[in-house]
Amino acid sequence: MVDRIAAGDDAALGEVYDAYSPLVFGLALRVTRDRGVAEDVTQDVFVNLWKRPDRFDPSRGTLRALLAAMARNRAIDLVRSRTASARREETEGRLAATSASATSPGDVAEAAIRAESSEAVRRALDALPDEQREAIGLAYFGGHTYREVAELLGIPEGTAKSRLRLGLQRLGALLAAEGVTA
Amino acid sequence: MSSRDELDVLLAELGIEADSAGDVLPALSGLADQVRADAPTRLRDQVLRSADQVRPIGAPTVGAVPVGPVEAFRRQMTVLAGLGAGLTADDWDRPAAPYDWTVHELVAHLVGVERYTGAALGLWSFVADPGTEGDHVRRTDAAVAEQRLRPPADTLAEWVRLATAIADHVEAGGPARLADELTFEGWPFHVDSMLVARTFELWTHADDIRRATGQPMDAPPPEVLRAMASVSVGSLEVAVLVVNPDQAGRPFKIVLTGPGGGTWTIGEPGAVPEATLVADVVDYCRVVARRIEPDALAADRFGDPALVRDLLDASRLLAA
């Protein structure tokens, strides 16, 4: 399919879009929590695939993985850019007193979980120890890597990775018990 | 959901190394279900429009700009001349399948072809032996017989001289000469298309020589392939009528993958193709050059199989 895209076949791009846009848009929405920005991310991802299909190397992973990584990276770039912009504006005194900095990363992730998770996942997340739920919230719903999770929580990378893995293992078991996963 | 594919996606999201996350798949799969969301319907058209702006639909990522027909001809001429210059005495005597010629005789055949081509362009006169006028191979029998008596290096030099004169003559005439019509091998051609058809022949015979002398096959560079593929596909709308007049007016699409390929949709604007062929550009060009049989072409064929078959048969008329 990517060979067809490289050959200028717009129908192939349409097929890839149809197959993967729910994942790309969903990921972008999860990270940015803004439908307009998520649309921009989605457009960027597929137009970039059209522009540089050679970025896809089947020996390094699937097309899904590439698109997911592109979506996530682009979304995080946009969020960071907006955050930096907001901070600049704050410094210049153009923001209201209720600054975004009053909200911790954990709060944001928690809010995302509350707003967007289905009941089953929410119940499973609620059943996790706080430290594991916080790590998963930041990584999955906040769009951060485990390295960033470690930085945000002020813990060693190994600890962040361990919390993520243990939390995901437990989450998997809880979801399986709820009949959510196969 | 519990596929390796799904895991790859989620690992990419989380930045977790694959070897440390094999046991978290169930949870990741559960979370993945929460991520999907439908983008607005209008976004699809928006994406396709934006894509067209960064790279025009139909254009390949590599070799999008083809060389002109004279340049394409010259490039393959240079390749074949270089190949000939590197042959040993034994190489010149090797059989050059699929013909009953040696390598030397194959180059002598090209001497005959250039004599015919130059005459078709009005460069010089050439009279074929009676009964051979319409036969691409037999028409050159006299040249083969004559050149067989000369050293191979002289035959090669003679071919280079004639081919160079043809390229120089067309180039000197500018765009007007390229657009001239002529009858070539019994078919109406414009000079530019004829030169590209000849480029196919030079490439193919170079590969014939490589095969005969135990060298690996080669393909023209992307910008030459693009020129060859464009002319070949551009001829199909008419050529398919020669193969089967019932296919008149049926829209079709050709997608040629690899550097120098591209996508062509032939038919009324907006018409849905009734057949689509997706193949590697070099393989497709080898079908055009009659070195791969249509049925043996590794390709994806969509739509009406009879139309695809007729298109492939029609593609072989260009370099007939």
Q: What is the ipTM of this complex?
A: 0.78
B65 touches chain A (CB under 8 A): no
DSSP B40: P
Please tell me the distance from the alpha carbon of residue B24 to that of residue A146, in angstroms, as a whole number: 14
Rounded to the nearest angstrom, the minimum Cα separation between A63 and chain B is 9
B297 pLDDT band, cuts 50/70/90, is very high
User: Angle, to 10 degrees, between the axis of helix B222-243 and the axis of helix B305-315?
Assistant: 120
User: If pLDDT is split at 50, 70 and 90, which confidence band does B225 have?
Assistant: very high
Question: Tokens 């010089």, residue?
Answer: B124
Contact B13 A4 (CB under 8 A): no
The mean pLDDT of A146-173, rounded to a whole number, is 82
Q: Quick one: closest CA in A to B40, which residue?
A: A39
The Cα of B257 is separated from the nearest Cα of chain A by a number of Å equal to 5
Q: What is the mean pLDDT of residues B148-160?
A: 97
R_g of chain B, CA atoms, integer Å:
25
Give the nearest chain A residue to B2 (CA atoms): A182
Query: Does the structure show a pLDDT above 50 at B296?
Result: yes
A157-177 vs A119-126: helix crossing angle, rounded to 10: 130
pLDDT score of A104 more than 70: no
Q: Which of A159, A160, A123 is nearest to B14 (CA)?
A: A160
- pLDDT computed for residue A153 by the predictor: 82
- pLDDT over 70 percentage in chain B: 89
Residue A93 has pLDDT above 70, yes or no: no
Contact, B144 vs B112, CB < 8 A? yes
Three-class SS of residue B300?
strand
> Could you please report the per-residue DSSP string of B143-196?
HHHHHTTS-HHHHHHHHHHHHHHHHHHHHHTHHHHHT-EEEETTEEEEHHHHHH
Closest CA relative to residue B84, chosen from B4, B159, B149, B15: B159
Query: Residue A168 CB: number of other CB atoms within 10 A?
Result: 28
Between residues B250 and A143, the one the model is more confident about = B250
Residue A174 has pLDDT above 80, yes or no: no
B10, B43, B55 ranked by CB distance to A42: nearest: B43
* Alpha-carbon gap: A38 to the closest alpha carbon of chain B (Å): 9
Please give the average per-residue pLDDT across B306-318, as a whole number: 91
pLDDT above 90 as % of chain A? 20
pLDDT one-digit tens code per residue, B61-78: 887 788 999 999 999 999
Residue B83 CA to its chain's centroid (Å): 20
- pTM score, whole prediction: 0.74
Alpha-carbon distance of B288 to B150, in angstroms, equals 32
Residue ranges of A 159-178 with Cβ closer than 8 A to chain B: 161, 164-165, 167-173, 175-176
**Cβ–Cβ under 8 Å, residues B221 and B63:** yes
Does the beta carbon of B38 lie under 8 angstroms from any beta carbon of chain A? yes
Chain A interface disruption, residue of B4, B19, B54, B61, most A CBs within 10 A: B61
Q: Which chain A residue has its CA at the smallest distance from B281's CA?
A: A7
Closest-CA residue to A45 (of A58, A32, B186, B77): A32
- Residues within 8 A of B (CB atoms), A 77-136 only: 116-118, 120-121, 124
Query: For residue B16, what is the nearest residue in chain A, using CA coordinates?
Result: A146
DSSP string, B67-134: PPHHHHHHHHHHHHHHHHHT--HHHHTSB-TTSS-BHHHHHHHHHHHHHHHHHHTTSS---PPTT-TT
Taking CA atoms, B307 is separated from B59, B89, B310, B319, in Å, by: 24, 47, 5, 20
DSSP-derived secondary structure for A27-47: HHHHHH--HHHHHHHHHHHHH
Closest of B299, B315, B50, B287 to residue A3, by C-alpha: B299
CB of B61 within 8 Å of a chain A CB? The answer is yes
Over residues A12-25, mean pLDDT: 93
Q: Tell whether the model's pLDDT for residue A21 goes beyond 70.
A: yes
Which of A10, A70, A161 to mutate: most B Cβ within 10 Å?
A: A10
Residues of chain A contacting B41 with CB distance shorter than 8 Å: none
Chain A touched by B112 (CB under 8 Å)? no
Q: In the predicted model, what is the mean pLDDT of chain B? A: 88
Least confident of A177-181, B25-29, B157-161, B202-206: B25-29
3-state helix, strand, coil in chain A (%, to 5): 80, 0, 20
The minimal CB distance from A10 to the residues B35, B57, B257 is found for B57
> Between A92 and B131, whose confidence is greater?
B131
Residue B177 above 70 pLDDT?
A: yes
**What pLDDT is recorded for position B26?**
46
Q: From CA B312, how far away is CA B308, in angstroms rounded?
A: 6
The partner residue sitting opposite B26, judged by closest CB among A24, A52, A175, is A175
Res A143: pLDDT: 62
Burial (CB count within 10 angstroms: exposed 0-12, middle 13-18, buried 19+), residue B153 = middle
**Nearest CB neighbour to B12, from listed A43, A68, A168:** A68
Confidence of residue A118 (pLDDT cuts 50, 70, 90): low
- Residue A55: the pLDDT is 84
Task: Let me know the angle formed at the C-alpha of B272 by B267 and B274, rounded to the nearest 5 degrees.
Answer: 80
Q: Could you count the other beta carbons within 10 Å of the beta carbon of residue B135?
A: 14
